[in-house]
Structure 1
Amino acid sequence: MRRASFLCGLVVILSVLPSCGSVLAETIPPLPKIPDAEIAASYERAAVQNVLAAVNPKVFFGYWSVCADGQGFGYGNTYPSLDGHQMTDALLWLGQVEVVKANWDYVRSFQRPNGLLPLAIFPDKAGQKAVPGQLPTDLNNGGLYQHWVPGNPLAALAGPTYIQNADVIYRHTLDRAWLTVQIPSVNLAADHLASLVTDEGRVQGAGYYVERPTRLESDGVAQCYAVDAFRRIAALNRVLGDDPAARCYDELAERIQKNFVTQFWTKDHFAEYLHPQRGLIANHGLTDVDWASLATGIATSEQQAVLWPQLRSEGRFHYGGMPTGISTRPETYEPWEFTHPDRHDLAAMGRVWYLEAWARAQMGDAQGLLESVRKVSQVGRANGYFWRERYHPDGKGGVIPAGAEKYCEYPANLIRVVQRFLFGVDLRLDGSLVLMPTATAEYWDRGFGQTLVGSNRTLTYRMQRTRTEGTYQGAAPLRLGLRFPPNVAPIPERILINGQPAEIVREQDLIFLVLPAALQQAPCQFEVACRPTTDSRVD
Structure 2
Amino acid sequence: MRTLRYKKWGLLIILFVFSVSLRVRAQSKDTLYLPDPLIAEAYYKAAHQNILAAVNPAVFKGYFSVCADGIGFGYGNSYPSLDGHQMSDALLWLGQINTVKANWDYVTSFQKPDGRLPLAILPANAGKKIGPKNYQAEVDPNGGLYKHWVPKDPLRALAGTTYIQNADVIFRFTSDKQWLKEQLPSINRTADYLASLISDEGAVGGAGYYVERPTRVEFDGVSQGHVVDAFRRLAALNNVVGNQVATQKYRGLADRVASFFQKKFWQGTQYAEYLHPEKGVVKGHGLTDVDWTALATGVASEKQKKVVWPQLKSAKGFYYNGMPTGIATKPETYESWETTYADNQDLAAMGRVWYLEAWARANMGDAEGLISSIRAVSQAGRDSSYYWRERYNAKGGYGAKKYNEYPANLIRIVQRFLFGAEHGLDGSLQLSPVAPEAFWRSGFGQRLSLRNGAIYYMMKDGRTDGQYTGGTSQTLSIKFPYPVKNIHLVINGAPVAQRSKDQWITFVLPPSTEGPPSTFSLRFEH
For Structure 1 versus Structure 2, the TM-score category normalised by the shorter chain is: over 0.9
1:22-80 CA distances to partner (integer Å, 9 max, x unpaired)? xxxxxxx7431111001000000000000001111111110000000011100000000
Alpha-carbon distance in structure 1 between the residues aligned to 2:23 and 2:104: 29
Identity, % of aligned pairs?
Answer: 56
Aligned to 1:94: 94
Alpha-carbon distance in structure 2 between the residues aligned to 1:130 and 1:371: 40
User: Which shifted more, 83-92 or 140-149?
Assistant: 140-149
How many pairs does the alignment contain? 511
Closer, same or farther in 2 for the Cα pair 1:389/1:130, shift >3 Å? closer
Say if 2:56 and 2:65, in contact at 8 Å, map to a contact too: yes
Say if 1:13 and 1:48, in contact at 8 Å, map to a contact too: no
Alpha-carbon distance in structure 1 between the residues aligned to 2:438 and 2:283: 39
2:165 pairs with 1:175: no
Alpha-carbon distance in structure 1 between the residues aligned to 2:470 and 2:489: 20
1:443 positional shift? 0.2
1:474 positional shift? 1.9
Alpha-carbon distance in structure 2 between the residues aligned to 1:9 and 1:71: 31
Q: Which runs of 5+ in 2 are unaligned?
A: 1-14
1:184-333 correspondence runs (5 A):
184-333=185-334
1:485 positional shift? 3.4
CA RMSD of aligned residues (A): 1.7
1:70-118 CA distances to partner (integer Å, 9 max, x unpaired)? 1110000000000000000000000000000010000000000000000
User: Which shifted more, 473-482 or 282-291?
Assistant: 473-482
Aligned to 2:44: 44
For 1:415, give the aligned amino acid: I
**3-state secondary structure, aligned to 1:280:** strand
Aligned to 1:431: 427
Aligned to 1:537: none
2:32 pairs with 1:32: yes
1:296-316 CA distances to partner (integer Å, 9 max, x unpaired)? 111000000001000001111
For 1:86, give the aligned amino acid: Q
Structure 2 length as normaliser, TM-score? 0.94
1:323 positional shift? 0.3
Alpha-carbon distance in structure 1 between the residues aligned to 2:164 and 2:138: 23
Aligned to 2:165: 164
Alpha-carbon distance in structure 2 between the residues aligned to 1:196 and 1:263: 17
Alpha-carbon distance in structure 2 between the residues aligned to 1:54 and 1:352: 22
1:157-208 CA distances to partner (integer Å, 9 max, x unpaired)? 0011000100000000101111111111111111110010111111011000
Alpha-carbon distance in structure 1 between the residues aligned to 2:127 and 2:310: 54
Aligned to 1:449: 445
1:8 positional shift? 6.3
Alpha-carbon distance in structure 2 between the residues aligned to 1:424 and 1:453: 15
Say if 2:35 and 2:439, in contact at 8 Å, map to a contact too: yes
Closer, same or farther in 2 for the Cα pair 1:243/1:145, shift >3 Å? same
User: Which shifted more, 150-159 or 118-127?
Assistant: 118-127
2:492 pairs with 1:504: no
Say if 1:322 and 1:348, in contact at 8 Å, map to a contact too: yes
Structure 1 length as normaliser, TM-score? 0.92
For 2:375, give the aligned amino acid: R
Aligned to 2:484: 489
**3-state secondary structure, aligned to 1:221:** helix
Closer, same or farther in 2 for the Cα pair 1:129/1:66, shift >3 Å? closer
Aligned to 2:9: none
Alpha-carbon distance in structure 1 between the residues aligned to 2:329 and 2:514: 52
Closer, same or farther in 2 for the Cα pair 1:490/1:209, shift >3 Å? farther
Aligned to 1:414: 410
Alpha-carbon distance in structure 2 between the residues aligned to 1:94 and 1:373: 18
Say if 2:427 and 2:475, in contact at 8 Å, map to a contact too: yes
1:128 positional shift? 4.1
Aligned to 2:20: 6
